Structures are given as C-alpha cells and as structure tokens.
Amino acid sequence: MERTIELSREHAQQEDRKDKLNKYRDEFYLQPGITYLDGNSLGLMSKRAEKNVEELMDSWKRYGIRGWTQGKYPWFFLPEKLGEMCAPLVGASKEEVIVSGSTTSNIHQVVSTFYKPVGKRTKILADELTFPSDIYALQSQILLQDLDPAEHLIRVKSQDGRVIEEDDIIAAMTDEVALIFLPTVLYRSGQLLDIQRLTAEAHARGILIGFDACHSIGAVPHSFSEWDVDFAVWCNYKYLNGGPGSVAGLYVHKKHFGTRPGLAGWYSSKKDKQFDMSHTLDVECSAGAFQIGTSHVLSLAPIIGSLEMFAEASIENIREKSLHITRYMMDLINQELAGLGFTIGNPKEDERRSGHICLEHKEAIRICKALIDNGIIPDNRPPNIIRLAPVAFYTSYVEVWDTIQTLKKIIEEKQYEQYSKERNVVS
C-alpha cells in the first residue's frame, strides 16, 4: 500500500502513543542522548537481566554447590527451564529446545550428528551470503570426513548480491546433497527465507535440513516443529538481549530424539543417570542430549528476564510492531533521503523482511562513524551497508524519525567527509 500522508515528527509521536509495547522501554537501560539501532548485533541490557545476574550470584554465595538443586533457579535444570521459555519463539515443544553452548559450537554439534555422507550423498548445501562462521564450521565438518570442502560444500549463488531465491536453493537440492544448512534470515540484507517451503522441498528429496536462526529469533515467529525442521541453532544476545557472549539456543525435532550426538559429553546423558558416573552414555531423550558440557550458569542468568518479557508481550505482537516500524522507516527513507545516494537493500514485502533495515550507500563506513558522533548507534557491514534495527521492545518512532533526519543532515552537510574510509576493528 502506498503512503498517503506526509510523515512528520508529530506523526511519529502519535505512533508512540499508540504503541502497546512502548511500556517496555522503561525495562531497558537507555542512555541519555543515544539512539540505539544495533540490537540485531547486541541487544540492550534490561533491568531484569541485571536483577537475574544478582540473583544467580547470590545463589552461589548462599548455597555453594547446593545451588545446583536449590534456590529460585536451580542451576542443574536451568538450561531446560530456559528451553521451555524459549520454545514458543520458535514454535516447538519444550523438550525440543535447550539453551546451551555457543552458536558455532552448536553448529558443530548438529552437523556432526546429522551429516552422514554415504555413497553419492556427500555434499552440504549452504548459500554464498551466509555468515562466515557458519561456512567455517561446515568446512571443518567436511574436512573431518576426509572430504574436500571445495567439492563437497555447495554455496547457492545470489542473483543480485542481496538475496537468495528459494527456487535457486531448491534447484540445488540434488541427489548428491546429504545435508542442508541455511540461515533463516540473511544477516546483511535481512531477507527472511521461506523456511516451511524449503523444509518440505528438502524432505521430498530425502535430505535433512537445519537453520541458523540468529537473525530471526526474537523478531520473527517460527513454527519449526510443525514445519518439520530437523534442527536449528541461534544466539541469544541479539533480539533476545541475553548479553555479550550469551549462552546460545538449539532446537532438534522430536523425531530425532534418542540419536547419539556427534559431540557427546557429560550433559548428553539422561539427567537422572548423569551422576551414576557410568562410562556408557545413556542418551537423554530430548534436545538436552545435544549439550556438551556444564552449563554456564552466570551467562544464562540475563536470558531469564528477557524471556519473561517475551512471554508477556508475545512474539506475535513483537512481529507486528517490528513490521510496522521497519515499514515506517522505509517510508521515511523514501520521503527524506531521495536523491542522496541511499538504496534500500532489504526486501520490501512483509513476508520476506526480518527485523532490520539494510540501507546501502557508497560512503557507508564514514556515514556510520558520523552517526555515532551524532548519538546514533548503527551497524556497518562493509563495504556499503548500514544496518538499522528498530527493536520492538525499546525503539520509538520518534527515534526513527530523528535518525533519518540525522542521516539527511550528514549527507547534505557532508559531515561524513571528516572521517576515514577504514572500517573499525568491530563494525
């Protein structure tokens, strides 16, 4: 639908007054004079997270080793408890989700479990626009099978450097493919793939399929179990606001329960058998089997309060605001930045767009530096992408309005010219 009204700051204020999630802004540590639009890389700290860390620290202080089974959040069962709280965000049963490991260690876990090259089925199918860490892990797993990644890792090409067409992915699902691993959302352009369709097409060809949901978890609702997705992994520090280096998440469909994990560890065993200290692994019949080592209790703590907020607000309401505020940002870009060298690089359709805007400009690196000095925190992906994430929980419409006006000012006043073209170490 075409925009029919002139967007003004007063209109943004009206949108904020109508926003039913606006009350959650007070739950986060928003810094005076700073507009934070980098929640798709690292979410802001919530007051509940701070409280939860203090509670877990206190349980260590108070109970010592007894904290594994005592206190408000017994440590031994916390990964399962958080898995249960996270399950509605991905559309799974509580048994199919566990909070454990890191994104990359979980990729190694699921791929080592489900990648079984046999006969002519020896290849892993991925895409050329996926996050480098995923490719490194897939290459490593292929090498561990004494195979050559150059031959056995297929990366579907993008037609425009921004998105991957589902038809191209499906065309690459040949009888040589043993496993498919794709992102739910492309981290640069923000394209949301059709997970349900790709899963059905993979299974019709006898191929297992899994997803990296780092850039969709907490912004987009999923139905992994209903769609029959075999496995998925994600981080909890972006839209889920679990803190830097937060413990990650993992989903495995219940049909795979009882499968021995490729990377077995003490926590892979049934919890009631774990302290039997047997050298024979009795595999846990849930996603918990795919844990490797002892839970990082203090790093689990911030996720508790975050998932409580998601339960209160609902992922459906979060998605509704996310789509509306990103649409609003695109309309503002079209209204205010026309002729200034900007291009919207993310899909425009709601069903293909995730939680961030991909704004392209040849001076992206220098513009991002100027934005930061103007009190706006963006995300830069070289060479030409400015990622802007208006997060449903804590970004206001007025902040989006002011950001676009600042971008306009940076270009018109040539503020960016005072900065170097070299990217920062962390961009």
What are the binding residues?
103-104, 131-134, 212, 215, 237, 266, 294
Structure letter (DSSP) for residue 250: E
Q: How does strand 35-36 pair with strand 153-156? A: unpaired
Q: CB-hemisphere CA count at 13 Å for 27?
A: 22
Binding positions for pyridoxal 5'-phosphate are 103-104, 131-134, 212, 215, 237, 266, 294
Among candidate residues 64, 52, 178, 42, the one with its CA nearest the CA of residue 123: 178
Copy the structure tokens of residue 113: 């479990």
User: How far is Cα of residue 261 from the mean position of the Cα atoms in its chain?
Assistant: 23
Cα–Cα distance, 384 to 368 (Å, whole number): 10
Q: Which residues pair with 35 in a beta bridge?
A: 376
Phi, psi of 125, rounded to the nearest 5 degrees = -105, 125
Q: Please state, as a whole number, how many other Cβ atoms lie within 10 Å of the Cβ of residue 272.
A: 9
Cis ω on the peptide bond leading into residue 383 (within 30° of 0)? yes
| Strand, coil or helix: 261 | coil
| Strand, coil or helix: 356 | coil
